[in-house]
Structure 1
Amino acid sequence: MPALDHPASAMLDLDSARRLACGLVAPIGDSETLDLAQAAGRTSATSLRAEIALPRAARSAMDGFALRTADLAAALTLPVAGTVAAGMQAPPLPDGAALRIFTGAQIPAGADAVVPVEEVTETGAEVQLTAAPAPGSHIRAVGSEQPLGGLLLRRGTRIRAHHIGLLASNGVAEVAVVRRPRLAILSTGDELHRPGAEAASRDTMPDVNRPMLIALAQGAGAEVDDHGILPDDAEATVAKFASLQGRYDLIVTTGAVSMGGRDHLRPALIAAGGQIDGWKVALKPGKPVMFGRLGNAAVTGLPGNPFSAMVGFTLFVSAQIARLKGAVPAPLFHCAGRAGFDWTRKPDRAEIFPIRLGNREIDGLPVVHRLGEGTSATLFPLAEADGLGFVPAETARVSVGTPICWQTFEAGAR
């Protein structure tokens, strides 16, 4: 196994590490066509433009009466000559008369205004107005809602319910979407066993990271294969990497990425024909993150401590998945808040921590409370958390009212 020497001075700052992570992947070129009803949450592979203008015919914006404004020159009372409902072919408007009309119905030929039913008085077969409307009142003109050639869906957009509704209104039944990124996720460690499985001894523990990371990756739109738990064995680690060659866009591991005597991941990746492009980030928790490649796949090695693994996924893996889908990775910690706590810390690494939003504001911004004591080994503080907070590496002191950047847990799952 090759020896690796990465001095502490080689630590990447957070922005550089994220750029490196994203630079190791490229947007997927493969696409598939889905029925519109199945496309929610997927990423558009092409841009779509309107082939028609909407509405295609002038339509009523209100329930009321369609009329010709010139017929009101002599009097504000008109006979009602019939009814026009949505979905029917509108008859021509008779001279000197009005037609009852419903919202969405086609404007009759000859009519140039609609008067809402609330603004008239009906007497028998006649309708009386209080004032003459302006031409064009309450009429949705041809093309007023959507121009011919207007952009309906931009390439790289995550398709949401409103996109589906818009495409349906244009008669689109199918849409081309980017193939889901293919991820392999595995844990390392002889001390781990599957959650729910009987522990081999009191020294073993449930594998927390793998089910958590699988859920995060699936929530981000990836297709995930679970590769289980890898033992702390150098040859087995090399063999596992070799077996993953050519099958995935991204390989995500947890554990065995630091400098311990049983941390075989980095030398095993090189022995399997891969490469390491970066290791260690000036980040707390989660310093020993590895970025590399194995053939056409990016490899991101996350730390073994659960909160560190979650932070690493949020900062780096979610951005890699977004880029694979052709989307722009979500900005980090873009929400503004004010600290509801005092905190003195060593200013050497950027720090991520669970936060809970308070029920009050300072200067119009939500108060953010820090949860937990900075440990990377437990997820317990997340049980009551609303998201993650961030302080930059140079911050030594946080006082009540200090500006704090934060984000929800869902922010990276575009």
Structure 2
Amino acid sequence: MLEINRLDSRSADFDATLGALLDRAPEADPKVTAVVADIIADIRASGDAALVDYTNRFDRRSIASAAELEIPKAAREAAWHSLEPALRAALEAAAERIRAYAERQKLEGWEFSDAHGNRLGQKVTAMDRAGLYVPGGKAAYPSSVLMNAIPAKVAGVGELIMVVPASGGEVNPVVLGAAHLAGVDRVFTIGGAQAIAALAYGTATIPAVDKIVGPGNAYVAAAKRLVFGRVGIDSIAGPSEIVVIGDGLTDPRWIAMDLFSQAEHDEVAQSILISPSAEHLDAVFAAMNARLAELPRADIVRQSIAGRGALILVRDLAEAAQVSNRIAPEHLELSVAEPRALLESIRHAGAVFLGRHAPEAFGDYCAGPNHVLPTSRAARFSNPLGVYEFQKRSSLIEVTPGGAKVLADIAGTIADAEGLQAHAASARDRG
């Protein structure tokens, strides 16, 4: 039988117990950071030579030059055509939905005139070049390629560079096919901290980018932390998480598998069900035990549920919303009769799935909104990945002679108060 944490909002230790369960922010391991810092320094100093050395060492390869790291466009196209027709059709349908949603996120510039005829506004431009990190290893995530690449292309990024480790020189054809479908411009078979360093600083072969997006292991996360400032990054992602608020009327078997959908990612993923119905919590737990045998990754699920999973009994749905806001989950399912009404009380969540027929899995693959979401309570202050992540805003200030006279007095007075005489003189010269 599964083990799972059980919490009751009426208990005196509820706040402390919930706080301990949520204490899982991704922290940098000093040992990992030290290793990564050395790798970054090597890439900066030796460029392609260091990149080739690390690739041969870590990915069991024997390349002679960095030129061998790039996968030609023709090879990516061939990988796409090698996929089963049903898979190609599914990826095309998902890409179309992701692109349609992304098109609605584009920021537009604007301007207005003040009372003195000055023109003020904002200009929006896309980044010149972005880098997309795609994990390698045993798993293949074509959905992540689509979710990261399509918003960048919709934003109008000039060039999109994808890096993916190729253990033994092999890259999953589904990942390459997804890159072709999404319009990735160049693909290099490099991974780990060395890939992040190459994207941030550039080498003779790898172009330096303006922003790096995409998930990775602890070494990739540490590298992104260290290069932030030199380049932009999307986030430092923690383990996957889901919260389901249930009113007790959804099929317990459905909820069980929704919770498992995050637990199967890894042993530290978090799956939480909140309900005012003790009977529903018990029914879902029974369904979880019954359905666990269906999963090839049952051992991972078992550990995840025992360590981070929870069934939380609350007084009512209003309190369920309060608890969810404290958790600020990556994914939130409102599996209730009136999800729109409950949505009014939700303030912190990466993505909200409304109603009994909207499982989180739809969001992972094909609903349309991005599946790259804030984790570890970052939904309190952060956003899903979107087109706006690849756009920049520049302020516009155009001043008339009459407007300059008005602004000169204001600016000069404030500059005097700050003790910055050149500022004051610069302003008053126009007055």
Structure 1 and Structure 2 fold alike (TM over 0.5): no
Greater percentage in helix: 2
| Larger Cα-atom Rg | 1
**Using CA pairs below 8 Å that are at least 6 residues apart, which structure has the higher relative contact order?**
2
User: TM-score, with normalisation over the residues of structure 2?
Assistant: 0.24
